[in-house]
A and B are shown apart, each in its own frame.
Chain A
Amino acid sequence: MHEWALAESVVRAAVDFSRKQNLKKIHSINLVFGELQSIDKEIFKWATGEILPSCGDIVKGAKIRIIDEECVFKCNACGNEFSLDETRRGEEESEYMHFIPEMAHTYVKCTRCKSPDFKILKGRGVYIKSIKGEK
């Protein structure tokens, strides 16, 4: 149910955006879900369904579209690029990265040199890719 907090942040960010852009109505919010945070889509969609009606007519009925993004790391020490699939991690460790994706630096190591010093190039967490609406 930690997904609820992120769903709420998405809806609030969309409403803030619509005010800045003078939108009268939001039709859809297009999201990217990074593999590393492994958000439960069903729970997230259920949460947005609960939250949207309470955030005003501007966002009521907006469609939530989700695109998955594969996680790619790049090692700062040796330059190696590697995916989450190539790394070893336990269920509990994945759960901790679900809450705070930066915990990857505690539990994931470069597949070539074993360094914990890497960049998360993509696939970290939740972000809004685009919002479609009308003025």
Chain B
Amino acid sequence: MIDPRTSVIEKRLSGIKKTIVVTGWKGGIGKSVTSCVGALLLAEMGKKVGLLDLDFAGASCHLILGAKEVFPKEEKGIIPPEVNGVRFVSISFFSGENAVPLRGSEVSNAIIELLAIVQWGNLDYLIVDMPPGISDTALDVLRLFTRAQVLALTTPSPVARDVLSRALRLYKSLKIPVIGIVENMADRKKKEVKFSIGFDKNIEQALASPGKLLKTRFASDLKKIVKCL
């Protein structure tokens, strides 16, 4: 028995110049908002950008982008719909408002299926929004996206930092390039790391509106980081 799907994944990803996996092993530290706003900023800068939400259990990029009604077009696979210039793919296209209760091997199967059928075309950047932790999703992404680079997120919390340090040790041992460590929700008066995003209490009001998201202080801070990617 041969699973044919993996044979075509490399071809599907061949038009992508740079894949950036937005990760951070703690939940609730802003991975999805960073992925979405980062993708919007790159599109605003004139780059061809894709955004893949792989957090199946907690898919939220469609909510952040206000893209609940979009659906891919079928053409030799599926063509991602564009949201403010970002080619967007999410399990939410198929699950809608419902839960997606998958075990590990089922997550792997769903990721392989998506990667086999999505026609991304040529992209300067593909941003991959990851679930928290080192799960089957994370291991599959590292296996299937052979040229992926990690953008690791943390917060000023000692817990988040400790968890991040474990993640970084793993990436180092697996020889996965980490292009940056971003401290989100940082105290604006004492920024300690090179890449930091100050706490923005108004970000929630901008959710579901790409135009408003791009005008937030969060976006302004992230823009400085995105320019270095």
Interface contact B7-A13, CB-CB below 8 Å = yes
Interface contact B4-A127, CB-CB below 8 Å = yes
Interface contact A103-B94, CB-CB below 8 Å = yes
Q: A133 near B: Cβ within 8 Å?
A: no
Question: Considering the chains assembled together, what is the distance between the CA atoms of A12 and B116 in angstroms?
Answer: 12
Kindly identify, within residues 41 to 100 of chain A, every residue whose CB is under 8 Å from any CB belonging to chain B: 76, 96, 99-100
Interface contact A102-B117, CB-CB below 8 Å = no
On whether A6 and B4 interact (CB within 8 A), knowing A96-B94, A103-B95, A105-B101, the answer reads: yes
Q: A9 near B: Cβ within 8 Å?
A: yes
Q: B174 near A: Cβ within 8 Å?
A: no
Contacts of A105 in B (CB 8 A): 100-102, 106
Contacts of B110 in A (CB 8 A): 100, 102-103
Interface contact A13-B101, CB-CB below 8 Å = no
Q: B175 near A: Cβ within 8 Å?
A: no
Chain B residues within 8 Å of A, Cβ to Cβ: 1-8, 11, 74-78, 91, 93-95, 98-103, 106-107, 109-110, 113-114, 116-117, 119
Chain A residues within 8 Å of B, Cβ to Cβ: 1-2, 4-6, 8-10, 12-14, 16-17, 76, 96, 99-103, 105-107, 116-117, 124-129, 131
Question: Considering the chains assembled together, what is the distance between the CA atoms of A19 and B85 in angstroms?
Answer: 41
| Number of A-B residue pairs having CB atoms within 8 Å of each other in the complex | 100
Question: Considering the chains assembled together, what is the distance between the CA atoms of A12 and B11 in angstroms?
Answer: 10
Residue in A9, A76, A101, A103 whose beta carbon sits within 8 Å of that of B4 in the complex: A9
Closest chain A residue, CB of each to CB of B99: A106
Question: Considering the chains assembled together, what is the distance between the CA atoms of A91 and B93 in angstroms?
Answer: 15
Residue in B77, B100, B113 whose beta carbon sits within 8 Å of that of A125 in the complex: B113
Interface contact A127-B1, CB-CB below 8 Å = yes
Interface contact A5-B98, CB-CB below 8 Å = no
Question: Considering the chains assembled together, what is the distance between the CA atoms of A48 and B106 in angstroms?
Answer: 27
Smallest CB–CB gap between A119 and chain B, Å?
Answer: 8
Smallest CB–CB gap between B100 and chain A, Å?
Answer: 5
Contacts of A125 in B (CB 8 A): 113
Across the A-B interface, the 7 shortest Cβ-Cβ residue pairs: A5-B77, A13-B4, A9-B8, A96-B94, A13-B7, A128-B2, A4-B76
Residue among B4, B6, B98, B119 facing the most chain A CB atoms (10 A cut-off): B4
On whether A1 and B11 interact (CB within 8 A), knowing A10-B4, A102-B109, the answer reads: no
5 intermolecular pairs with C-beta atoms under 8 Å apart: A4-B77, A5-B8, A106-B94, A116-B101, A125-B113
Closest chain B residue, CB of each to CB of A96: B94
Question: Considering the chains assembled together, what is the distance between the CA atoms of A71 and B98 in angstroms?
Answer: 23
Residue among B3, B11, B114 facing the most chain A CB atoms (10 A cut-off): B3
Closest chain B residue, CB of each to CB of A5: B77
On whether A5 and B76 interact (CB within 8 A), knowing A96-B94, A99-B117, A100-B114, the answer reads: yes
Question: Considering the chains assembled together, what is the distance between the CA atoms of A107 and B96 in angstroms?
Answer: 11
Interface contact B3-A127, CB-CB below 8 Å = yes
In addition to A10-B4, A100-B110, A129-B1, 10 A-B residue pairs with Cβ atoms within 8 Å of each other are: A2-B77, A8-B8, A9-B5, A76-B103, A100-B114, A101-B109, A102-B110, A105-B101, A107-B98, A116-B101
